[in-house]
Amino acid sequence: PPPPPPPPATASLDDVAEKLEQMGKIQSGERRVAMTRMRKRIAERLKEAQHTAAILTTFNEVDMSALMNLRSDYKDDFFKKHNVKLGFMSAFVKASAICLQEQPEVNAFIDGGDIVYRDYVDISVAVSTPTGLVVPAIRGCERMGFAEIEKVIFQLGEKARDASLTLEELQGGTFTISNGGVFGSLLSTPIINMPQSAILGMHAIQKRPVVVKDQIVIRPMMYLALSYDHRLIDGREAVTFLRRLKTLIEDPRRLLLNINI
């Protein structure tokens, strides 16, 4: 008969530890890459905001039911009429424009020893691109309707992704809206886009139990964050701004008619 097979090789704990150490040496490493000009500029502006402004953030949450129903009911007709999709950003831009006119401190900025108030609303919208974050501005939002806002957002988004935004489109802006919800963020504290005095952070829509008329119901909710420069804006103005925005979004009739009801 053939000889029996040799017994399986065994390894000591020291052998195993040595092998794992060798594998770690092979797999681990690092590489150094120079920062792009855009990334350097983004870093500079973020540190400028932290070093200059007294940044504070206030929070609220908004029930998106009414706005989602409005979009669901009219998105097809809206597209047929205006040849652009109806999203949520146009509602937040329009609502912010109304709130900024009602709370002019949030739309103002500090210039040396002066406070500069604006009678116009140019809202910068944060757009993520492969090379970094850009914030082109939508001019004259207080005079625009939903369709016009959606068209400008679409055009600026396309130009941002094609890296064809002009310097004029990137400059200015009196207020910024950032939507971390597109990446799944539930809550954040956005940093002010200097020299602006405030920024609104939108977040992911998530079904949560809430109390409505003493009943627990499930509603699609979104957390809102308003970061503001406390040197210029007091807590009263910031909280009033966010509560008014919540009211407009939760009842789009107020938003469309621009009335307090």
- What is the tens place of the pLDDT at every residue in 1-59? 666 665 555 667 777 777 767 766 556 678 899 988 888 888 888 888 988 999 999 99
Locus of tokens 């900025």: 109
Smallest Cα–Cα separation from 172: which of 100, 109, 232, 112? 109
How much is the pLDDT for 7? 59
Q: Which domain holds residue 199?
A: 57-252
Rounded Cα distance between 98 and 255, Å, is: 8
Q: Which of 77, 214, 234, 251 is catalytic?
A: 234
Token duo for residue 107 = 């739309």
How much is the pLDDT for 257? 72
- H helix intervals, the chain: 13-27, 37-52, 65-82, 89-102, 146-161, 167-170, 235-250, 252-257
Number of domains in the chain: 1
The CATH number of residue 177's host domain is 3.30.559.10
Rounded Cα distance between 187 and 224, Å, is: 8
Q: Which of 114, 203, 230, 251 is catalytic?
A: 230
In a domain, 97, yes or no: yes
> Does residue 73 have an active-site annotation?
no
> Does residue 214 have an active-site annotation?
no
How much is the pLDDT for 104? 97
How much is the pLDDT for 191? 95
In a domain, 17, yes or no: no
Percentages helix, strand, coil for the chain, rounded to the nearest 5?
Answer: 45, 20, 35
How much is the pLDDT for 105? 97
Low-confidence spans in the chain with pLDDT less than 50: none
Query: 3-state DSSP call for residue 182?
Result: helix
In a domain, 48, yes or no: no
pTM score of the predicted model = 0.85
Query: 3-state DSSP call for residue 56?
Result: strand
Q: Is residue 42 exposed (0-12), middle (13-18) or buried (19+ Cβ within 10 Å)?
A: middle
How much is the pLDDT for 25? 59
In a domain, 34, yes or no: no
In a domain, 91, yes or no: yes
In a domain, 33, yes or no: no
In a domain, 25, yes or no: no
How much is the pLDDT for 251? 94
In a domain, 6, yes or no: no
How much is the pLDDT for 13? 73
